[in-house]
Amino acid sequence: MDNDDAKAAWPLLLTAHAVLVQDIERRLAAARLPALSWYEVLSALEDAGGRLRMHELADRVVLTRSNLTRLIDRLAALGHVTREKDADDRRGAYAVLNDSGAQLRARIAPVYLQAVAELFEDRTGPAERAAMARTLRTVLSGSRERD
């Protein structure tokens, strides 16, 4: 019944997320690559042209400030990113993507994209995914307006 399906949507979203992310992380670890969160931070930086303020980066990857600080600590310790103070507003700091970080992202990408293709895209039609995307966008637009 359609009504039962509607009720199952949220639990299924939770379960599908957990199962797929678990599988993706397993594949990354098997390829001796870092976790998904690293990829997301490196990608967000690359998409933004290589540098972002910490709080802006935290928003984009949906991490708390504190968690992002720690993640950037680890990336910086390995030379993948650098911190730079904002010259205008000296309270703020930028996270800056290094060559090493860009290369790391490029090594993660094929494994990650292959996993998403196999686990998610090969099992769904484009129209289904498009519909899901539109639904999720309306959900998010509600959550982001009151920021």
66 binds a second copy (CB under 8 A): no
Identify the CA nearest to 94 among candidates 58, 43, 51. Answer: 51
Q: Measured from the CB atom, is 1 or 62 closer to DNA?
A: 62
Binding mask 100-139 for a second copy (x = CB under 8 A): ----------------x--xxxxxx-xxxxxxxxxxxxxx
CB half-sphere exposure, 79, CA atoms < 13 A? 3
Q: Measured from the CB atom, is 123 or 146 closer to DNA?
A: 146
Length of the chain measured in residues? 147
- Contacting residue, 20, 35, 102, 119, with DNA by CB under 7 A: 35
- Choose the binding region for a second copy from 5-13, 49-57, 81-89, 92-100 (rule: CB under 8 A): 5-13
CB half-sphere exposure, 28, CA atoms < 13 A? 21
Identify the CA nearest to 79 among candidates 54, 57, 61, 96. Answer: 96
- Return all residues near 112 (Cβ < 8 A) that are at least 6 apart: 24, 28, 36, 39
H or E, element range at 7: helix 2-30
Residue pair 60/44 in contact (Cβ under 8 Å)? The answer is yes
Size of interface with a second copy, in residues (CB under 8 A): 47
Q: Measured from the CB atom, is 27 or 102 closer to DNA?
A: 27
CB of 70 to DNA, least distance (A): 5
Residues at the interface with DNA (CB under 7 A): 25, 29, 35, 37, 53-56, 58, 63-74, 83, 86, 89-94
